[in-house]
Amino acid sequence: MSTELIQKLTAARSRLEAIADTVQLEKKEKRLKDLEDSMSAPNFWASNDKAQEVIQEVKGIRKEIEPVKKLRRSTADLLELTKMAATENDEKTLGAVGRDIGKLLAEVERVELVTTLSGKHDQDSAFLSIPAGAGGTEACDWVAILQRMYQRWAEAGGYAVAQVDSQPGDEAGLRSATLEIQGEYAYGYLKSEIGVHRLVRISPFDAKNRRHTSFASVDVAPDLPDDLKLEINPADLKIDTFRASGAGGQHVNKTESAVRITHLPTGIVVQCQNERSQHSNRAQAMKLLKGKLIQAEEAKREKELAKMYSEKGEIAWGNQIRSYVLQPYTLVKDHRTGCEVGNAMGVLDGKLEPFMDAYLRWKRKGGAEAERWLKKKIKPPRRQERQEERR
């Protein structure tokens, strides 16, 4: 028993050393000491703005490295205790250590996933947009289902959710929807959802009860702080106002409060119509535009995001990242990671953690595997499979 426990703790120690390298623990500790020394200087508060920047950096570094340092200490203590208990044949202590190791390994797993969220904006809130793809009314209904799925995921995780924009479908559902999801690491987790999502089910809009396939695309941009300095040339913007089409009473229907902004150099289009005033909608649309511009800029430096953002292709066959099958069986499968969940209705009710965790592990394994997946195209289903889904 003691040998097995020692092996587990030794493996945990190796994983923690890898995490320490990932977060640059030694470098961050040195930086933290320098910042703390500067905070002790007599003139530290001479500039309040600079002082606040230092304080925020100190908080950020501590938040990043303290969990790793704590786990290293816990692992070293448990390893020493296990060796002592093994020497004395203390089965009671070894049993207690075994229970503690389970908790420690779970925490190591959590910290590993969090350290994967080390991108510049991963800690930020997020804007999530869902436009309908191929499938007509079915696709519009699929957008509404996905919007509910992400709302339920966000609410279960303690995030605040607000609808920024929605365009109703002609018969049912939504042609497009945009949500603002506020909370720590919202963008980091939701990046796993960028791409085309495919639904297979018996259509509630088909009198003959045939199976239909629908598509919707999910895009995610960071919700950046209001004070972020990002220069946008007003001459590069085309701003249109129009009457909002969603619910909201007479005020929404009688005034041109909705705002659409087109960034001419990139072609990025954002709009907001869910606030009561044109001023509020314009401010919210500008926040969304900033997030998309930052995302596009990062995409130039990161091949994976560039591939997903600018080459997602047609929202139809052969481009999906995830399939949700409700007929003739129930299964949700992510085509990048291979993660599968049989409880499709649970996934549609917001239980996305298995897919997000699998994506983070997939990302952590490195660029080689991700690069291979991005270079290949997901093959369209065989003709027979497509015919079966149309029956």
296 shares its domain with 152: yes
CATH number, domain of 294, equals: 3.30.70.1660
Edge-to-edge strand ranges of the sheet holding 268-272: 237-242, 258-263, 268-272
199 shares its domain with 327: yes
73 shares its domain with 150: no
The reported pTM is: 0.66
Domain's final residue, options 62, 93, 116 = 116
Whole-number Å distance between alpha carbons of 356 and 194? 11
Domain's final residue, options 98, 116, 134 = 116
For residue 113, report the phi and psi dihedrals to the nearest 5 degrees: -65, -40
Q: Residue 208 CB: number of other CB atoms within 10 A?
A: 7
Max Cα–Cα distance, the chain, nearest Å: 82
CATH number, domain of 94, equals: 1.20.58.410
Q: Residue 12 CB: number of other CB atoms within 10 A?
A: 22
Whole-number Å distance between alpha carbons of 130 and 155? 18
169 shares its domain with 108: no
Q: Which of 311, 333, 244, 235 is nearest to 281 (CA)?
A: 244
Domain that holds residue 231: 125-390
Whole-number Å distance between alpha carbons of 83 and 96? 13
Do residues 179 and 220 touch, judged by C-beta distance below 8 A? no
Instruction: Going residue by residue through the chain, which has 391 residues, state the pLDDT in tens, using 9 for 90 and above.
Output: 688 999 999 999 999 998 898 888 999 999 999 999 999 999 999 999 899 999 989 998 998 899 999 999 999 999 999 999 988 888 888 888 888 999 999 999 888 877 878 777 888 899 999 999 877 899 999 999 999 999 999 999 999 999 988 889 888 999 999 999 999 889 999 999 999 999 999 999 888 888 999 999 999 988 876 655 677 888 889 988 887 765 544 444 556 788 889 999 888 888 888 777 888 888 888 888 888 887 777 666 555 444 444 444 455 555 689 999 998 899 999 998 999 999 999 999 999 999 998 898 887 765 444 445 444 444 444 444 444 444 4
Give me the number of domains the chain comprises.
2
Domain's final residue, options 91, 116, 141 = 116
